[in-house]
Amino acid sequence: MSSTELGFTPATELTRLIRTKALSPVELTRAALERIERVNPIVNAFCTLTAEQALAAAREAERAVTSGAALGPLHGVPYSIKDLNFTKGVRTMGGSFIFEHRVPEADAAFIPRLRKAGGIFVGKTTSPEFGWKALGDSPLTGITRNPWNTGTTTGGSSAGAAAAVAAGLGPLHQGSDGAGSIRIPSSFCGIYGLKPSYGRVPMWPVSNNDYSSHNGPMTRTVADAALMLSVMAGPDDRDRTSLEGAPE
């Protein structure tokens, strides 16, 4: 498949192809990075790419496949993180010149879960400054454009994640929502976005707006949203508001 075809393929199908060795994690990651580099100048969905880190993780994922090791539910599949959420060793700017050079020393609580599940982190997606409006522009990263019509807004604040899904820049993207910040851009860009119940996905470290914010998936299919949420969700001792798993 071409990088365009892979970019629009659901994660549920990509994991099947990887498990059956019809697709390699390295091939998929290279295709995702190639498409991001080609399309991102048009839509401005990503503000940071982690290409070297992603390819190293993909090579490790490929070794696991060839060795017959146990594979996680997201094994070899690219994902992105909204630039409001802390990523250890990778700048987290929050759409603001104030934090242009901020590099956190810890990950947000749900990120190690995505990594443990075998996901491949490819970069950070744009947000308006501090996530405090329902549009897709910031003074630091500029305007994020709707892939359906680049003269229109993506909505916000999970602007880059919504644009990335709609533009086929990989299947799994994380957003956050306090007052519509997943739901508005998902609606504007014609994708699936879910604001989980508060505490379903743990919030740590806590920033100034985390007590009103819910982390959730933004994807092309309902099945992908369910898959990503199943990995992100669950209690964390560092977040006293986090919930136990859903009842059987």
Active-site residue among 24, 80, 138, 181?
A: 181
Active-site residue among 82, 124, 133, 195?
A: 82
Q: What are phi and psi of 218, to 5 degrees?
A: -135, 120
What is the per-residue DSSP string for 176-239? EESSSTTHHHHHHHT-EE--PPTTSS---S--TTGGG-EEEEEESSHHHHHHHHHHH-S--TT-
Does 176 participate in catalysis according to the annotation? no
Query: What does the block give as tokens for 215?
Result: 């982390």
Query: What does the block give as tokens for 56?
Result: 């190293």
Does 157 participate in catalysis according to the annotation? yes
Looking at residue 27, the DSSP 8-state letter turns out to be H
Sign (positive or negative) of CA dihedral 76, 146, 219, 7: negative
Query: What does the block give as tokens for 49?
Result: 């790419």
Sign (positive or negative) of CA dihedral 236, 192, 122, 100: negative
Active-site residue among 3, 24, 127, 157?
A: 157
Among the listed residues 63, 119, 60, 133, the one whose alpha carbon sits nearest the alpha carbon of residue 87? 119
Q: State the Cα–Cα distance between residues 110 and 108, nearest whole angstrom.
A: 6
Q: State the Cα–Cα distance between residues 91 and 72, nearest whole angstrom.
A: 27
Q: Which residues are catalytic?
A: 82, 157, 181
